[in-house]
A and B are shown apart, each in its own frame.
Chain A
Amino acid sequence: MFSLRIIFLGIGLFLVAFASHIAVWRIVKPSKQMLWLTIVFIVLPIGGWLIFSAVAGPHSEDGAGWTATPLDTFLILLLNLLLSAAYIMSYPPIQAGCPSLKIILAVNDSRAEGMTAEAIHRIFSEDILVSERLEDMVNDGLIFVKRDIAGDDLVSLKNETIVISWKGYLIAQMFALYRRILNLPLGKG
């Protein structure tokens, strides 16, 4: 009933998606990265597997091949989905350069001498910490930025207003609800 083939196929599907991800990112550099990650890691493997099953299935009736049962398909796609989810959850620090990991690498580079708190603060500019994240959120359709044309400071864009989209609102509410279920205060970011 259960063969190692299921595990290999689940991992194989993920590896194909991962190779496609590197190729797409190196060639196209998509701006809506979360949408493209979903397409590359979830839509394409599921679609690809269903097409492959439909094409390969009839040829295996001679006994030489292997036909996936509905359970096999479920287990293969679930394993692929979990591997993809694990990668997608690890992706934000890859894309945005996680500050905590950056601190670890900087302190590691300083060796036994170590770093003062001031020196650690100096590694980061405000642009990298907040403005670039705002840009990512605009690109992913979570917020949009409205410029106040009556403002007198258009050059520095200080009069911009951040407006949350319905998608961003849903995500914010989902995390707020999750923290309420755990009975924890909202995260500090």
Chain B
Amino acid sequence: MQAEPSLYFALVTVLALLIPFTMHLFFLRGCGLFRETELLQKGVFFSVLFGLLPLAALCYFWATRVGSNSTTGVIVSMLYLLLVYILAGYVYFHFFNMSETARRVRLLIESSKTGTLKKNDLPRLYPHQDIISIRIERLTALGELRLSGDRYVLGNKALLLPAKLIFTLRHILFPNADF
């Protein structure tokens, strides 16, 4: 019995979800690329970008071998796959970022080592100064900040719009919050 084209499409969609992680794994472990601290986030970005190649192969396979009979059906299904892939890439980027930069994840990992953690020990394990210094270092490596003399100025401004958007949403959801 031949499987339904719709079943193939569901399978292609699920495979598309796995591409960002698989590509990232391939770059890090297979090629040894993007392992330096300053390249970690760029590595995820390039994994999602290069993942468009296997996605295109999946789309081609589905459209030529199994796909819908109508051209409109094929175009709409490709649009859906692209949307799903971009969202999967965005979610994966944030998941990786959480593992790399989230204070909560760091605190959880520190606590999970022994099960308990004295609050007194926190400044030693996770110094306040380090939290900021690491971020300044990371933003400089990403080109978001640029050192001019002894002062930091804005670099490529790629994160400026997301920053404004995030703080606007914060203002809508938590009008009394400290900014």
Contacts and interface: CB of A to CB of B under 8 A. Distances in A.
Interface of A: 1-4, 6-7, 22, 25-26, 69, 71, 74-75, 78-79, 82-83, 85-86, 89-90, 92-105, 107-108, 110, 112-117, 120-121, 124, 126, 128-130, 133-134, 136-137, 142-143, 145-146, 157-164, 168-169, 171-173, 175-176, 178-179, 181-184, 186-189
Interface residues of B, number: 86
Given A104-B159, A105-B163, A164 B135 contact: no
Contacts of B13: 75, 78
Q: Which of A71, A86, A164, A173 neighbours the largest number of chain B CB atoms within 10 Å of its CB?
A: A164
B139 A100 contact: yes
A104 B105 contact: no
Contact of B107 (A133, A158, A184): A133
B58 interface: no
B112 A160 contact: no
Contacts of A79: 80, 83-84, 87
12 contacts: A25-B173, A26-B173, A75-B10, A79-B87, A101-B166, A120-B136, A158-B120, A168-B108, A172-B112, A175-B99, A188-B106, A189-B106
A104 B108 contact: no
Given A92-B104, A189-B107, 8 more contacts: A7-B76, A85-B91, A97-B170, A101-B163, A116-B150, A160-B119, A162-B111, A171-B105
A163 to B, nearest CB: 5
Given A2-B76, A120-B132, A182 B28 contact: yes
Contacts, number: 254
Q: Which of A78, A159, A182 neighbours the largest number of chain B CB atoms within 10 Å of its CB?
A: A182
A71 B10 contact: yes
B111 A168 contact: yes
A94 B154 contact: no
A5 to B, nearest CB: 9
Given A97-B177, A105-B164, A171 B108 contact: yes
Contacts of B6: 1, 69, 71
Contact of B118 (A6, A97, A124, A161): A161
A91 to B, nearest CB: 9
B141 to A, nearest CB: 12
A136 B133 CA distance: 23
B54 interface: no
A99 B131 CA distance: 9
B33 interface: no
A114 B116 contact: no
B118 A117 contact: no
A112 B145 CA distance: 12
Interface in B1-43: 5-7, 9-10, 13, 24-25, 28-29, 35, 40
Contact of B179 (A78, A97, A160): A97
Contacts of A95: 170, 173-174
A113 to B, nearest CB: 7
Given A182-B25, A184-B28, A189 B134 contact: yes
B152 A164 contact: no
B12 to A, nearest CB: 11
B50 interface: no
A130 B144 contact: no
B90 interface: yes
